[in-house]
Amino acid sequence: MIVDRRQRGRYLLSIYLVVLFGSLILIAIGLQLDPKVYGDIRNIILSISTELIAVVLIFIIINKIFLVDQWNADEKIAKLIESFERNRKTNAIDFFKTNIDLLKFYTESKSIELSGVTLNSEIVKNFSLFREHILNGYDMKFMLVDPNSIAIKMSSLRSEDEGNDSYYLKKLDVVFGSFDFLKRSIENAVKANQKLGKFEVRLLPYAPSYAIHRITKKDNKKYIIVELYPHKIGNNGSPMFILDSEKDKEWYNYFSSQYDVMWEHAKVWDFEVEKFESNNV
């Protein structure tokens, strides 16, 4: 519709210009006539020509103003309709994902802050990357459940294999073993006067309802990826979603503050391999 209006405007402008040039030609002809011989005809030609020029100029100005306003209005309406269509077509499938490429976010980050139940899969899959990340001067935070708290029982009761506390304890055993190895790597780097990023671990006394991946990329763009934990079934396809600090400011700030308050109330890990007291779970 916008194209049609603009095309029509070009056609009108062409017609006005033809009339304008015709009027100028008539004026030139009229001026060449001898006023003594063709006095009346000469006056009529000059009068009509000047009036046509005036009319054409007025129409060009008026049409230009109104067409510009109309084009702007049409563009705004078209964008509004496009926005409505886009929002109408958005559904949960577009929002929730089950296969977000976390490695891509980790690789491009300068700060990684994770929280979850055991974080076993993230640490096992990406341990080398996380280690290099810290040794290269980038910051990392890990927040997971305290193995000596009720969090293990809570997670076990929520899982498909209800009551299997040892499943979570074994996963945590691997994680804390990885942390211990990472601690020794950091100690060696400190002896070599290498500049390191921060490495912090805290323990939650309860099982969180979702995992949070708070990422600050090297270009300073910030994202939060939330993974919702299933109840009993659905472990192979937990819903996840991404929040952009600029586009999703309200909900980014909500989950960011959730991470901060959890971190504030979690127990600081003292960089020693955690001993599991099974009588407390």
pLDDT digits (tens, 9 = 90+) for 58-116: 776 766 655 555 545 556 556 656 665 666 566 777 778 888 889 999 999 999 999 99
CA dihedral (108, 111, 115, 116) in degrees, to 10, reads 20
How high is the pLDDT of residue 193? 78
On whether both 139 and 259 belong to a single domain, the answer is yes
Whether residue 79 is found in the same domain as residue 104? no
The domain total for the chain is 2
* Domain termination residue (choose one: 69, 90, 111): 90
Q: Which of 61, 90, 119 is the last residue of a domain?
A: 90
CB neighbours (10 Å) of residue 28? 11
Identify the pLDDT of residue 226: 95
The amino acid sitting at 206 is Y
Q: Does residue 124 share a domain with residue 67?
A: no
Within this chain, do residues 133 and 13 fall inside the same structural domain, yes or no?
no
Looking at residue 86, its pLDDT comes to 61
Counting Cβ atoms within 10 Å, is residue 159 exposed (0-12), middle (13-18) or buried (19+)?
buried
Task: Looking at the structure, tell me whether residues 86 and 156 fall in a common domain.
Answer: no
Tell me what pLDDT residue 74 has: 56
Domain boundary among 65, 90, 115: 90
Rounded to an integer, what distance in angstroms lies between the CA atom of residue 242 and that of residue 223? 7
Q: Which domain holds residue 150?
A: 95-280
Residues 218-266: tens digit of each pLDDT:
999 999 999 998 887 766 678 999 999 999 999 999 999 999 999 999 9
Sequence-distant (6+) residues with CB within 8 A of 62 are none
Exposed/middle/buried for residue 239 (C-beta within 10 Å: 0-12, 13-18, 19+): middle
Residue of 143, 276, 138, 254 whose CA lies nearest to 195? 138
Write out the E strands in 116-207: 139-145, 199-204
Q: Are residues 84 and 109 in the same domain?
A: no
How far is the C-alpha of 155 from the C-alpha of 117, rounded, in Å? 8
